[in-house]
Amino acid sequence: MSQLLHTMIRVGNLEHSIEFYTQVMGMTLLRKSENAQYEYTLAFVGFGEESTGQAVIELTYNWGTDSYDLGNGFGHLAIGEEDIYERCKAIEAAGGKITRAPGPVAGGTTEIAFVEDPDGYKIELIQKKAMSEGLG
């Protein structure tokens, strides 16, 4: 069976992004590699390895590029949480930016919140008890 392995996002400050995803979001730095010939560094972060069925995030740092135009095509990453209210408190306490406070989705009952990473990427937190019900 096929498996979603990772989502790649380009970052302007790799160390700052690794710190955010590990210290603020609670992920683990799974591996990091550098390619001097093509001047980029990759770091993979996640809640577990792809070999365990987890999808991870590939942080790509192209040397010398400190910012990107995020455009309007990319939406967000989504993470299931046992308690989005407590998770948002912990994220704020760790210096993270909550852009939408926890609560029901407009027109529905699923509880969500949004966080923003150092490069401006949005991360949706979804209350796990409602994940299988969809966002209605």
Relative to beta strand 77-81, strand 28-35 is unpaired
List the chain residues with pLDDT less than 70.
131-136
Is the whole model's pTM more than 0.75, yes or no?
yes
Question: Would you please indicate which residues are annotated as catalytic (active-site) residues?
Answer: 124
**What are the tens digits of pLDDT across the range 13-22?**
999 999 999 9
Q: Collect all residues with Cβ–Cβ distance below 8 Å to 88 and sequence separation of at least 6.
A: 98, 101, 102, 113, 115, 125
Mean pLDDT, the chain, rounded, equals: 93
Find out whether 46 and 55 touch, Cβ atoms under 8 Å.
yes
**What are the tens digits of pLDDT across the range 37-48?**
999 999 999 999
How far is residue 127's CA from residue 87's CA, in Å, rounded to a whole number? 10
